[in-house]
Amino acid sequence: MPEARWWQMEDSQIDFGNMIVNKTDVSKLLLLDFMVNYAGNWYMLPHAAEVGTLTEIQGIEVRDNFGIRTLIQPANIVDPPVSTQRKWSVFQLHNETDASKVPPSLLFVAPSTPDKLEGKPLEKVNFIRDEMANMVWGIEQTINSGMNKGTDGNEAGIRLQQLLKKYNENLEEDDVTENENNENNLKYKLATSVPENWIPFIPVNTDTSNRSIKLRRAQTLRAIENFAGQIKPRTDLLSPLSPYFINEEEVPKAGRIAEAKWQRARWFDGKTYVWYGHEKKVGRGGGTSGLKFDQLDYPKK
């Protein structure tokens, strides 16, 4: 974006002449050419628009020192129109069914607040990529306790395990098959266990005509006698829909954090509004669940 003040120089840390560019670095070459030749060709013209309105600017007429008037139209308008040419635009409204119905210079001024008060998260889910298990996990770090207060999801899972243990004398954390004639006392595990607050997402192909991949919410099994069954999510962030899909690009390598919290703001008319909103942030990296299949445990000596 252009600087707020006319003729403001770049920051001292910016040195385009010291940029190391190879002949094959097309993206760097384009960026360098644009910044050196066209970085000063920005003009900011303020235009006041009311909140919740649609504004259309069909063009700007520029009159130079010679009295010549030039009409500057939006950059994504092609004259003559070419259907096969890709139009360049920024912050343009999009119509999935028919793009021709949306004017290229139409801007919607959505009502928004620059600042708001936020409470502590009632729900918090950390989406991480597990490369070893080839899946994505939604870790319920904070769940709603039912008293309008968030509680630790991992501790809630541990308390549930302890509660089930009281009603179960023969607790088994994993599916174990023992052989009475096994002299070495080997134990076969169908799969290792994961914490209760780890909800798996597996990659699936939603359309057989292409190779697009989406992440679908799956379920792990609770291998506890008398309480065996599917482990279901305990947050509304992971349990409103069935089936539950997430676009693969929504969970990058750094992960993604989704939070649900109460928010409060005062509007320009003086009224106060309180709502329950969702917010997503960049995660803190990937992780591993330690999930393994077909394991053979040797006795400790």
- For residue 191, what are its two tokens? 């799969």
> For residue 61, is it within any domain?
no
Please check the confidence at residue 18 and state whether its pLDDT lies above 50.
yes
> For residue 65, is it within any domain?
no
pLDDT of residue 209: 63
> For residue 70, is it within any domain?
no
pLDDT of residue 102: 66
> For residue 272, is it within any domain?
yes
Predicted structure pTM score: 0.64
Instruction: Give Cβ neighbours of residue 179 (< 8 Å, ≥ 6 apart).
Output: 186
Please check the confidence at residue 116 and state whether its pLDDT lies above 80.
yes
DSSP-assigned letter for residue 69: E
- For residue 159, what are its two tokens? 């308390």
Rg of the chain, C-alpha, whole Å: 28
- Overall average pLDDT of the 100-104 stretch: 66
> For residue 47, is it within any domain?
no
Ranked by mean pLDDT, the top range of 170-174, 234-238, 290-294 is: 234-238
> For residue 2, is it within any domain?
no
- Overall average pLDDT of the 79-93 stretch: 60
pLDDT digits (tens, 9 = 90+) for 209-234: 667 788 999 888 876 666 767 888 99
Residues 7, 21: Cα–Cα separation, whole Å? 28
> For residue 57, is it within any domain?
no
The domain tally of the chain equals 1
Please check the confidence at residue 77 and state whether its pLDDT lies above 80.
no
> For residue 270, is it within any domain?
yes
Quickly state the pLDDT bin for 173 (edges 50, 70, 90): very low
Domain limits at 176? 117-297
Residues 289, 301: Cα–Cα separation, whole Å? 27
